[in-house]
């Protein structure tokens, strides 16, 4: 009787572990690999990026270009250009 209980609990534990492993893989896929929605269909084909010479603005500009958006870039200060 004890062996059957241990077997049942082992199978239950394996099922729970598999469920959580698949949930983690799903989150990793959606976060790292899936391309997401096409931005130009949702928002139009142009984007204005302020602060595009460094930091987050520069990264956003590159990401928008990778996804196919045309960009109008504006530096945070006129002296940077």
φ/ψ of residue 69, rounded to 5: -85, 145
State which residues form the domain around 19: 1-34
Mean pLDDT across 12-35: 91
In 10 A of CB 68, how many CB atoms? Answer: 10
Q: 48 and 69, same structural domain? A: yes
Q: 78 and 53, same structural domain? A: yes
> Does the pLDDT at position 28 exceed 60?
yes
Q: How far is residue 42's CA from residue 22's CA, in Å, rounded to a whole number?
A: 30
Distances (CA, A) of 36 to 32, 42, 60, 73: 10, 11, 15, 23
Q: 60 and 22, same structural domain? A: no
φ/ψ of residue 36, rounded to 5: 85, -175
Q: Between these two residues, 20 and 60, which has the higher pLDDT value?
A: 20
> Does the pLDDT at position 45 exceed 90?
no
Q: How far is residue 14's CA from residue 33's CA, in Å, rounded to a whole number?
A: 27
Q: Which residue has the tokens 């896929």?
A: 29
What would the pLDDT profile of 48-73 be if each residue is shown by its tens digit? 888 888 888 888 888 888 878 888 88
Mean pLDDT across 16-22: 97
> Does the pLDDT at position 8 exceed 60?
yes
Domain count for the chain? 2
Mean pLDDT across 25-46: 80
């Amino acid at each position: 009787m004890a062996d059957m209980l241990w077997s049942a609990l082992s199978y239950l534990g394996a099922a729970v572990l598999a469920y959580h492993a698949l949930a983690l893989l799903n989150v990793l896929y959606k976060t790292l690999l899936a391309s997401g929605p096409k931005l130009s269909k949702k928002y139009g084909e142009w984007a204005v990026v302020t602060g595009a010479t460094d930091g987050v603005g520069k990264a956003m500009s590159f990401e928008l270009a990778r996804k196919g958006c045309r960009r109008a870039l504006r530096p945070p200060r006129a002296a940077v250009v």
